[in-house]
Amino acid sequence: MKKLKIKGFFKDITGSMRVSKRRNASIKNASPVNDYKDPIKELALELHPVVTHVIVKKVEDVSPTARKFTFVAIDGDKLPPFEAGQYVSLDLEIDGKKAYRPYSISSAPFQARSGEEPFFEITVRNGRPGQGYVSSYIYANLKEGMKLEAHLPYGQFHIEPLRDSKNIVALAGGSGITPFYSMAQEIAHGTLDVDLTILYGSVSHDDIILEKQIQAIHCPRVKFINVISGEGAKLLPGDEKGFISRDIIKKYSVDQDPSNGKTTYFVCGPLPMYLFINKELEALKVPYRRIRMEVFGSTPDVTKNEGYPAGKEKEVYKITVKRGIHEDIIDAKGSETIQNAMERAGIPHETRCRSGACGWCRTKVEKGEFFVPSVGDGRRAADKEYGYVHACATYPLSDMVIKIEIE
């Protein structure tokens, strides 16, 4: 057995202590160094800030059931640049519970980077009874001077010159007109180099969102056609009758041949319209690369989705929600998303798109059955394999155990 060399051991220790003292003294007496700033990180935060503090500057009615809200940045924040067609996610607190909702930006990008007071706008339609409670809350309660936290920009629903043609046909329904109003203004301003034809489906002229505002855009590169479907509804000069069918789409396409790939079709509206338009475009043999579909939020009636088990929408299930060391057991209807159930229970869980696309509400399912609509399932293949879902687009089919991140 070797003898421990005590003297050498203490010699090493005392030597290390002397070196440490010299190092500390040199640090203490060193000249001050200016704070290092990473220009790449600063640019990234300017383009994609974590949060932008805003205040409601103006509220304006733009139809009998829709209001346009104008926001400006406050507290030293700046509005980040965005593309026409992208959306903003707003943080709200309703009855002491947090809610997060996305809204297409209806103003033009140039308006957020020019003028004495840059701004952005959203246009919100009053929700129907029992549906769209956040939109109803915003419509009724958001007033001038109120402060909110906003997150922008998000979304891929914008014109990309390297991908899209210069001839755009926009197919819109309901509040799906808002991103196209943004595009139309940007084109009229001269900062978006495309030709835009908007086919806007409505029941009648009694409640057409932003109609006057769009009609006021006098630009030869922007055309606006109302497609009126209501039985007996009055038609005005230039209107089309019925739904946005393949015949109407063909009429306003370049060379009236949608299959030639010279027109890009942007679609934004509710799920029934999405499903209808998709079949019409397929019948017209429109190349897949020429179709751009905006996410439309969770459907109000999940039973309309192909593959949903009949009768499950009437059930109420128990969901155990794990957050770190905390566990909560909440009720969840088979007809609502897991995200909506957590919001009703007051459990904070951030979302952005509300359509299963962005992944902010990614959730681990440890136990239980669930349904994810094929339309809007934005999960990665690995997430599907290992039991992850996007809570905003997932419906319970049994009692469940899930795990979410602590906010």
Count of structural domains within the chain = 3
Cis peptide before 102 (omega within 30 of 0): no
pLDDT of residue 24: 65
Residues 137 and 186 in one domain: no
Residues 120 and 184 in one domain: no
Tokens of 197: 């034809």
Q: Mean pLDDT over all residues of the chain?
A: 89
pLDDT of residue 48: 85
pLDDT of residue 276: 93
Residues 321 and 250 in one domain: no
The DSSP result for 33-78, as a single string, is -PPP--HHHHHHHHHS-S-EEEEEEEEEEEETTEEEEEEEE-TT--
pTM of the model: 0.85
Order the strands of the 66-73 sheet from edge to edge: 97-104, 87-94, 147-154, 52-63, 66-73, 120-125
Q: Is residue 24 part of a domain?
A: no
Residues 335 and 377 in one domain: yes
Q: Is residue 185 part of a domain?
A: yes
- Per-residue pLDDT tens digits for 14-44: 555 555 666 666 666 666 656 667 888 888 8
Please identify every stretch of the chain with a pLDDT value under 50, giving residue numbers as ranges: 1, 9-10, 130
Residues 188 and 89 in one domain: no
Residues 271 and 333 in one domain: no
Percent of the chain with pLDDT over 70: 88
Residues 219 and 336 in one domain: no
Residue 143, domain extent = 44-154
CATH number at residue 185: 3.40.50.80
